[in-house]
Amino acid sequence: MRIFYTIIIIIGIVTLIISSVTIYQIYKFDETRIIFLDIGQGDSALITEGDYQILIDGGSDGKILQEKLSKYMPFWDRTIDVVIATHLDNDHVSGLVDVIKNYKIHKFWYSNIEKNTTTARALKANIDEFNVQTHEPVFGDKIIFPSGANFQVIYPIIRNEAYNNLKDLNATSIAGIFEINNEKFFLGGDLPFEIEDRLDVGNDITVLKAGHHGSRTSTSQLFLDKIKPRDVIISTGKNNRYGHPHRDVIKRLIMGRVRIFKTYENGAIIYTCADECEISFD
């Protein structure tokens, strides 16, 4: 009899723990969060709202990326609604190769250009093997979150535009704006300033992810004057071999009095959005 009661009590305690964890997770993951992941060299941003996610780029290491995804996605959720690979550089897509294997991806957005690198081949092989639906986005394509927040593509402007830029892979980057309650986040992969400068981005960007990891090939004075960001995110690895970010860019940002956040100093940079977006670090 005593054993019977002990078992009942243990089952009771376990049920209580599981339900509290679940309730906590449901509560915690219900808000909309834009997370610039700290994945070392490269770019990766997760936008998550309940069990709806889009992942923009995956950094250069699949193991690190998946650790971060399991940290910021609900534990029961193994699907990502849309993955966007801005372009086929290793520090944007290497991490995605494993994610295709281990998560169900509803849609994979990328410019399917010819690129004969090991990573690009592995990525395309996995897309085929796991039957992932692909889409080549252009200006105006939109992803709408359950809350009404949305991500809208603003580059490439016409289909095949990326294909004309093959000499510079960065220029094939897909760029877009995530908008929630009038706050706008611009993510443009590694687009060079020649393209950034002529984009129709509007003049009220709240958060700019600096193009090409803060390299001087992006984020011109002209662009900054035009879009007037409040915050700038620099996503790159510590002591990376490319010398990102470039001091000219940092100088420009300081002169412009924007708030600068760097993944290699701040860790993950998280905007949690209810009526307004609040920043925190992890």
Site residues (vs Zn ion, CB under 5 A): 89, 91, 190
- Closest separation between CB of residue 244 and Zn ion, Å? 8
- Closest separation between CB of residue 89 and Zn ion, Å? 5
Q: Residue 56: which of 200, 185, 182 has the closest Cα?
A: 185
Say which DSSP state 177 is in. E
Q: Classify 79 as helix, strand or coil.
A: strand
Smaller CB separation from Zn ion, 149 or 250 = 250
> What distance in Å separates the CA atoms of residue 105 and residue 265, rounded to the nearest whole number?
31
Q: Provide the residue type at 64 as one letter.
A: I
Measured at the CA of 192, the angle between CA 186 and CA 197, to 5 degrees, comes to 65
- Closest separation between CB of residue 93 and Zn ion, Å? 10
- Closest separation between CB of residue 31 and Zn ion, Å? 29
Q: In degrees to the nearest 10, what's the CA dihedral of 48, 53, 56, 60?
A: 90
Residues 39/65, Cβ–Cβ less than 8 Å:
yes
Smaller CB separation from Zn ion, 85 or 100 = 85
Q: Residue 136: which of 168, 161, 99 has the closest Cα?
A: 161
Q: In this structure, what token pair is assigned to residue 10?
A: 């243990």
Smaller CB separation from Zn ion, 134 or 240 = 240
Smaller CB separation from Zn ion, 32 or 44 = 44
Left, alpha or beta for 131 (phi > 0: left; psi -120 to 50: alpha)? Answer: left
Smaller CB separation from Zn ion, 32 or 40 = 40
Residues 240/41, Cβ–Cβ less than 8 Å:
yes
- Closest separation between CB of residue 86 and Zn ion, Å? 8
Whether the CA torsion 95, 97, 100, 106 is positive or negative: it is positive
Q: Residue 153: which of 188, 183, 181 has the closest Cα?
A: 188
Smaller CB separation from Zn ion, 81 or 91 = 91
- Closest separation between CB of residue 240 and Zn ion, Å? 10
- Closest separation between CB of residue 251 and Zn ion, Å? 21
Smaller CB separation from Zn ion, 68 or 213 = 213
